[in-house]
Structure 1
């Protein structure tokens, strides 16, 4: 949500775009580190209570962000948002898997994580539109209102006692799963994918303004186009992964994602702003489809590495490693922008995807899917 709002935040707080970009870095890093630790430590609390409490805390954190009148208050709100989101997602995975029979657990986890993926794809452009029309504070206010509505849905939709007695993996168990070579290498692919994506995505508003003359009034439309492409990618990736196997989706997705990022920087280097917009939009659509076709296939790959009972642990770790990548990408992007190389964001993002692609090729075999 923060990415398209960076210029207005920088203006309001009289600071640089790269400094405001650290709001992305800190959120993602806090989520990645706190989520597995706090989830393990709170394992004795029943999951229904955890979901409700974490969603209510998420709503209050948005209120704090809405009311923030300086950079550091907003930073503190972002840290709280990351902690509460980090509580919610693993518990949602655990409860979703426990509410259904074992033979339907994979579908339940796919629904939970598919909902999260679609929310990311659609929520960011929606936040950009609201932020431009009503100011960035209203974006946080809107999310806070949605979180309160979600809290009510949890209270009404989950009976008291739901989720009690569900075991929670300890930190030792999580580390034991993570240390297995197959799992760790697959999680590293997730991190590289996310790093490349957020190197570009965090500063996409600045990139488009510089390269194609896109104003803040129109960035929401561009991001909606990206969001629609992302939803299409999620559907395609999930369906093809079931039919052809994860590997058959992951490899072409990473290839197309690499080409999309390279195309953005090539367009920036070769075309004048009045000629760059349409080619850049085509590259952004290809990026949205390919990046989010990768995600469900990668989850299916991780699901297949370990037995079903360990799926919640693996998917929780995957979320943490994804957010490590988001944090690294936002930090890397800020370095590139600070050095005056906004046009180079695509080259660097594409290189991250190439490393991920090579790692997938080296660690998977065709027959494994």
Structure 2
């Protein structure tokens, strides 16, 4: 039996996540230009990336809990509108601290929009297709790695760094208008006391999955962060080779996100999650073995990195499905936001820990250390859990 075609609003959610993910990293490609224009050091300009990630991680659960009772469509449209305004403010920023404030505002909007987008995709999916829907939305974040971020960097080089923020603001407006016209009506939860809204913070099953995400992100993004030194270690330094490897990661990661969504639907999110984590750990062990063996082959490098990227970017659909099943529909958006917090904290740990590993042991030990973290994540991931299914097809029937 053929799968039903995906609704148009789901592709707009893909575009939404493409915009928010691009906004986080795009400034990294124009840091020197920002530093010169605003008369600050490059390291100070780099804090614009750090502040976005930290605010995103902290703001996601806080704002999502506050917005849990609101209709998801409203949260998405208003959040995207404010996100666009924040990026316009960044584009016209007269100084460093004004730009920093605009980045903080954009991060807060991106955090709540991302959680609402995943909650909408899950609730709007027909029965048996939740993983597929979550996979496509996740693919928006993955696509930013090899399309949105490079495009923004090129635009910044051609027309100035401010043009990158004008582009992101325009995409935010387009996505907001698209969702205004097509998004399903996913209602918010009924008013509840603060204790009830904080339930995911006390839910052992949810917290276990958030810890699983944190460990997996720490390991996987550690390897990704230092993929440049690893590429040089395995196949020699080459800017062109590194660019090709990063493109490979994006394409393979996109495939992994889409395939993981289907696997989550076919066998259940918890089973798909454990298989993904096991495959991720094995891929990192293979990457470590190649580095220690001193294999000087671009083809071996491409094979190893491609296999790793597929399983690394396959994490989000099954873990989000498992989170939603554990939390239930009334606290789903808050639980998803907690998971986003775990993901971004893992990102921060990955960069610091990977740098320490390289400084003390060497590049070859980065994938080995990352594999150890993935093994811990696999051991922590629940085999079974009491499922509280998220009803599929909320208002989705009229959209398909």
Q: 1:65 to 1:352 in 2, by over 3 A?
A: farther
Q: 1:122 to 1:220 in 2, by over 3 A?
A: farther
Q: Which residue of 327, 350, 368 maps to 1:329?
A: 350
Q: 1:231 to 1:165 in 2, by over 3 A?
A: closer
Give unpaired runs (5+ residues) of structure 1. none
SS of 1:293 mapped into structure 2: coil
CA distance in 2, matches of 1:366, 1:158: 31
Deviations 1:55-105 (A, max 9, x none): 12222333444566877665544433321111212333455566x5xx947
- CA contact 1:13–1:70 (8 Å) conserved in 2: no
Q: Work out the number of aligned pairs and report it.
A: 358
- CA contact 1:234–1:292 (8 Å) conserved in 2: yes
Residue 295 of structure 1: aligned partner: 316
CA distance in 2, matches of 1:165, 1:85: 19
- CA contact 1:47–1:166 (8 Å) conserved in 2: no
Residue 31 of structure 2: aligned partner: 9
CA distance in 2, matches of 1:340, 1:73: 41
- CA contact 2:146–2:247 (8 Å) conserved in 1: yes
Structure 1 segment 48-127 matched on structure 2, within 5 A? 48-66=73-91, 75-95=100-120, 104=126, 107=129, 111=133, 113-127=134-148
Q: Which residue of 220, 228, 231 maps to 1:197?
A: 220
1:243 and 2:266 matched: yes
1:271 and 2:294 matched: yes
Structure showing the higher helix proportion among its residues? 1
Q: CA deviation at 1:231?
A: 2.5
- CA contact 2:280–2:374 (8 Å) conserved in 1: yes
CA distance in 2, matches of 1:130, 1:164: 36
Q: CA deviation at 1:35?
A: 1.7
- CA contact 2:199–2:331 (8 Å) conserved in 1: no
- CA contact 1:4–1:205 (8 Å) conserved in 2: no
Residue 349 of structure 1: aligned partner: 370
Q: 1:96 to 1:282 in 2, by over 3 A?
A: closer
Residue 199 of structure 2: aligned partner: 176
CA distance in 2, matches of 1:108, 1:5: 33
Structure 1 segment 102-181 matched on structure 2, within 5 A? 104=126, 107=129, 111=133, 113-131=134-152, 133-135=154-156, 137=161, 138-157=163-182, 166-167=189-190, 172-181=195-204
Q: CA deviation at 1:53?
A: 2.4
Residue 6 of structure 2: aligned partner: none
Residue 51 of structure 2: aligned partner: 26
- CA contact 1:66–1:140 (8 Å) conserved in 2: yes
Q: CA deviation at 1:23?
A: 5.0
- Aligned-pair RMSD on alpha carbons? 3.9
Give unpaired runs (5+ residues) of structure 2. 1-21, 388-400
Q: CA deviation at 1:334?
A: 4.6
CA distance in 2, matches of 1:149, 1:42: 22
Q: 1:287 to 1:72 in 2, by over 3 A?
A: farther
Q: Which moved more, 1:205-214 or 1:286-295?
A: 205-214
Residue 337 of structure 2: aligned partner: 316
Q: Which moved more, 1:148-157 or 1:330-339?
A: 330-339
Deviations 1:231-268 (A, max 9, x none): 22223222223333334433332232123334434444
Q: CA deviation at 1:7?
A: 7.0
Deviations 1:15-40 (A, max 9, x none): 99987766554333322211221233
Q: CA deviation at 1:345?
A: 2.8
Q: CA deviation at 1:220?
A: 4.5
- CA contact 2:218–2:347 (8 Å) conserved in 1: yes
Q: CA deviation at 1:282?
A: 1.7
The normalised TM-score by structure 1 is 0.78
Q: CA deviation at 1:131?
A: 4.8
- CA contact 2:57–2:345 (8 Å) conserved in 1: yes
